[in-house]
Structures are given as C-alpha cells and as structure tokens.
Structure 1
Amino acid sequence: MARTAPAFAFAGVPRVNLMPPLEIERRKRASLVRGWAWVVVAAMLVVGVIIAGAFALRLAADQALALEQANTNMLLAELSSLSEVSDAIAAEGELTAFRADAMGSDFAWAPLVASVTGALPADVRLTGFDLLSGGVPQTDDATTEVGLVGTMTLESPNPIDIAATIRELRSLEMVADVDGRAVTTAEQVSGAYTYQLDVTFDQSVYSGKYAATEGAE
C-alpha cells in the first residue's frame, strides 16, 4: 500500500502583545487628541480665512463709501453753484417780466408826429395833443387793441376842409379812428384857425422794444 504524507497545519508565527493596557489607552488618547488638534487648527484656519475675507470686504466697502461720499460732496458743491445761477436766471426773468409790464406801451413820439404831420395839408400845423397810453398788448394783432387815445390840436392860417383832413388821417395805418371835435374861429391876434380832433391810435405805434420774448419767465 502506498503511504500518504502526514498533513501539517501551519498557523503562522505566534505573536504576543506585551504592551501594558495603560500604554495602549494612552496612545489611543494621544491619537484622539492629535486628531482633535488638527480639527481645531483647520477650524481656526477657516475662521481666519473668513475673518480676512470679511475684513477685505469691509475695507472695499469703506473705500467705495468714501468714494461715493466724495462724489456726493462734489455734486452738492456743483448744485450749490448752480443754485446761484438758477436764482440769478429767475431774478432776471422776473425783472424782464416786470419791465415788459411796465414798458409794454413804450412808443416813440418822433415817428408818430412825423406820420400825423405828413398827412396834414401843407399850411396846417400840429400844435398840441393830449393822449393817454393804452394797456399792455394782450394779443399778437396790434391793430385790434387801443394804443393811444385822446385829442390833437391843429392850427391853420386859413380855413381847411376838415372832412378831407380827417379822411387823410384815417388812411394812416396806425390810426384806428379820428373825428372832429371842435373848430375855433379865427383869432384877431394870431389870425389862425384851431381844430380839435378826437383820435385813437392802435398798438402798432408801440415800439415792442421791451416786449417779453417767448420762453422768458
């Protein structure tokens, strides 16, 4: 019969832990402490990064705020200077409006007298007038509003055709109406005839020099 080899069981090299249990416990605690220490250090690093980031953000915000405050102060200074200009413009507008109201009926006597005397017969003189100025223009059509109203006095060495003279005066563009009022007979001393006429001029006699311009307040 064939012989079989005996079977041997190999359990490995036997080991014996000779470290005291206290040392094992101490090492476990030391390892645990080191782990927590790293956790604390990591947490402190994270907190430091967060604090540094917050500080950087705060610094950037402070700088931005300082810049905006500087811009605001500059704008306020500009607005302050502009307010003086605005006040001056407003005052100028008020004065211009006041002048337009006060001088709206301004007119030149010389052209008016020249027009009237040019329509009179050659031997007739304009010796006097008593006229009142009308109001400030209310419309753009100067021919529809009264500019001057009152009386004129004419003098002639000879009797004149007063009706023809009135028609000639009425033909003037500036004359709205004219009519005879009184005729005085020849005076013994001067030998002149005096005629009084009621006359109304429209506002085309106004110079318009001080009229308020459009857009002026």
Structure 2
Amino acid sequence: MMLGRSAALVYGAPPRVNLLPPAERERREQAALARRWGLIAVGAAALVVLAVAVTALLVRSADGDLQAEQARTTALARQLAANRDVATATRDKSAYEAYRTQVMTSDVSWGRALGALQDALPNGARIDGFDAVVGAAASAAATSATGGGATLAATAPSGTVATFTVQVSSMLPMDQKAVVASFTRVPGVLGVEMADLSSESSASYSSTTTVFFDDSILSHKYAEKAG
C-alpha cells in the first residue's frame, strides 16, 4: 500500500526588524518633518509673491484708468472753456429774441389812437401836445394832487395797456364834461381823467386830460412775425 505525500509546511514571512539605533530614527524623523515644513513655507511664500504681483498689476491698471479719465476730464474742461463764449452768446440771443417777441406783440398804434382822440373832440378844440406810455402811467390829476410825486395812476382801470396825457386847447369855452365825454366815446378807452381846465385869456382855453386805453389799441402788426 502506497502512502500519500503530505502537504508542505508553509511558514509566515520573515520578521522585519529595524536595526537602526533610536538616535538615527529620531534624526530621520526630524529631517522629514523639516522637509515638510520647508515645503509649506515655500508654498506660503509663493502665494504671497503671487498675491503681491496680482495686486501690483491691479494697481497699475487702476492708475492707468485714472490717468486716462483725468486726461479726458481735462480735455472736456478745455472744450467747455472754449465754448463758454458761444453758450453766453446763445443765452443772450435767446433773451433778446424773447424780449423782442414781447415788444413786437405789444406794439401800440399811437397815431391811430391820437387821431381818434382828436376826431372825438368838440368843434373848435384841438390837441396841442401829448405824452404817451405803455401801461398805466401816472395820471395828470394824480401827479398834480401829489405835487409830482405820483408814480402810478390811482384811478387807472384794470387792463390798461397804454396811457395818453393830452393838452387840449380851444378858442371857445370848453366844458369839462364835454371833453371827458368825447374821449370816453372813443373805442378802446377804459377811463378818462381831467387834471385841470384853465383860461389864459378870453380867447384861449386849455385842459390836461389823461386817457387810458385797453388792448384794442395794439396794432398786432408783428404778431405773425413774432409767432
């Protein structure tokens, strides 16, 4: 009878024994630790250098943008200074045109108004002189009553556009009511005020009368042009 071969014995790996002395092992561990800390320090320094470089680039770019904007601002200031005279002239021109429009649209037909007053006088009376202003000027009666100190006619009706102060003379005795009534009937007259009625001689009579006109006295000659 044959006997079978027995299985081979398997032994574990040979034991590993660190034969280095403890001092050498400690030295090597310290060297490895120093290398790790050195790598960390180099990495931190590299990061710092990179951050400084990026910051410097950003500052340089910002300085360039600032200088460009300052140059642009200076150029614009020079252009504004060069165009200041033009702007002033344009503003003055606009103000002048506005004033001209106002004046042209309020042009008074002085001759037509004076002719209407003359035509309304009684027979034998005539206008020897007159003063005419735009607006409600001081009436002859108010000026006489205040010794020439009046600046506005206290009796000027609302809406007065022009004021006439006329000197009327006649060879015939003039009734104050007749002169006032004749001027009152003139179209556009808002009010009439007689300052005085005097007689220099038996053949010469004179009076000073203030007449207030409304806007119907305007000629509207320049209204279309002004518009």
TM-score (normalised: structure 1)? 0.53
* Structure 1 residues 28-64: Cα deviation after superposition (integer angstroms, max 9, x where no partner): 3432332122112211222123223322432343345
Matching residue within 165, 169, 176 for 1:153: 169
* Structure 1 residues 70-94: Cα deviation after superposition (integer angstroms, max 9, x where no partner): 5654665576578764698489869
* Corresponding residue SS for 1:153: strand
Matched, 1:142 2:156: no
| Count of residues paired in the alignment | 183
Describe the shift of the 1:115–1:21 C-alpha distance in structure 2 as closer, same or farther (beyond 3 A).
Answer: same
Which residue is equivalent to 2:141?
none
Describe the shift of the 1:9–1:175 C-alpha distance in structure 2 as closer, same or farther (beyond 3 A).
Answer: closer
Describe the shift of the 1:21–1:140 C-alpha distance in structure 2 as closer, same or farther (beyond 3 A).
Answer: farther
* Corresponding residue SS for 2:29: helix
* Structure 1 residues 122-178: Cα deviation after superposition (integer angstroms, max 9, x where no partner): x646351254852588999333x98344632245xxx58756554222212336225
Counterpart AA for 1:46: L
Is the CA contact 1:147–1:204 (under 8 Å) kept in the aligned structure 2? no
Counterpart AA for 2:128: G
Matching residue within 197, 204, 214 for 2:207: 197
TM-score (normalised: structure 2)? 0.52
Which residue is equivalent to 1:27?
28
* Corresponding residue SS for 1:142: coil
Is the CA contact 2:127–2:167 (under 8 Å) kept in the aligned structure 1? no
Describe the shift of the 1:208–1:28 C-alpha distance in structure 2 as closer, same or farther (beyond 3 A).
Answer: farther
Paired with 1:73 and 1:149, the residues of 2 have a C-alpha distance of: 62
Matched, 1:128 2:144: no
Paired with 1:80 and 1:137, the residues of 2 have a C-alpha distance of: 46
Deviates more, 1:14-23 or 1:43-52: 14-23
Alignment of structure 1 residues 51-200 onto 2, 5 Å: 51-70=52-71, 72-73=73-74, 76=77, 85=87, 89=91, 109-121=110-122, 124=124, 126-129=126-129, 131=131, 134=137, 141-143=158-160, 147-149=163-165, 151-154=167-170, 159=172, 162=175, 164=178, 166-172=180-186, 173-174=188-189, 176-177=191-192, 179=194, 181-183=197-199, 184-186=201-203, 194-200=204-210
Q: Show structure 2 runs of 5+ residues with no match.
A: 1-8, 139-150, 221-227
Paired with 1:25 and 1:170, the residues of 2 have a C-alpha distance of: 132
Paired with 1:82 and 1:203, the residues of 2 have a C-alpha distance of: 47
Q: Show structure 1 runs of 5+ residues with no match.
A: 1-7, 101-105, 187-193, 210-217
Alignment of structure 1 residues 38-49 onto 2, 5 Å: 38-49=39-50
Counterpart AA for 1:128: D
